[in-house]
Structure 1
Amino acid sequence: MRFFRPHLAEHGLTEQQWRVIRLLHQHGELESGQLAPLACILPPSLCGVLARLEEAGLVCRRRDARDQRRSLVSLAAAGLACFESMRGQMEENYRLLEQRLGEDKVVLLHTLLHELKGLRP
Structure 2
Amino acid sequence: MASPTPSLTLALLQARESAMDFFRPHLNHNSITEQQWRVVRTLWQAEEQTLESYQLAERACILRPSLTGVLMRLEQNGLVHRWKPETDQRRLCVTLTPEGNALFENMKGEMMRQYQKIQQQLGPEKYHMLMSLLNEVKQLDPND
Runs of 4+ aligned structure 1 residues displaced above 3 Å come to 111-121
Deviations 1:41-69 (A, max 9, x none): 11111111111100110000000222111
CA 1:120–1:92 in structure 2 vs 1: closer, same or farther (change >3 Å)? same
Q: 2:89 aligns with which of 68, 79, 82?
A: 68
Once residues 13 and 79 of structure 1 are traced to their aligned partners in structure 2, the CA distance between those partners, rounded to angstroms, is 11
**For structure 1, which runs of at least 5 residues remain unmatched after alignment?**
none
Q: Which of the two has higher C-alpha Rg? A: 2
Deviation at 1:108, TM superposition (A): 3.1
1:19 corresponding residue in structure 2: 38
Identity %: 54
> What is the Cα-based RMSD across aligned positions, in Å?
1.6
Give the TM-score of the pair, scaled to structure 2: 0.77
2:62 corresponding residue in structure 1: 41
CA 1:59–1:119 in structure 2 vs 1: closer, same or farther (change >3 Å)? farther
Give the TM-score of the pair, scaled to structure 1: 0.91
Q: Does 1 or 2 have the higher relative contact order (CA < 8 Å, sep 6+)?
A: 1
CA 1:101–1:54 in structure 2 vs 1: closer, same or farther (change >3 Å)? same
**For structure 2, which runs of at least 5 residues remain unmatched after alignment?**
1-19
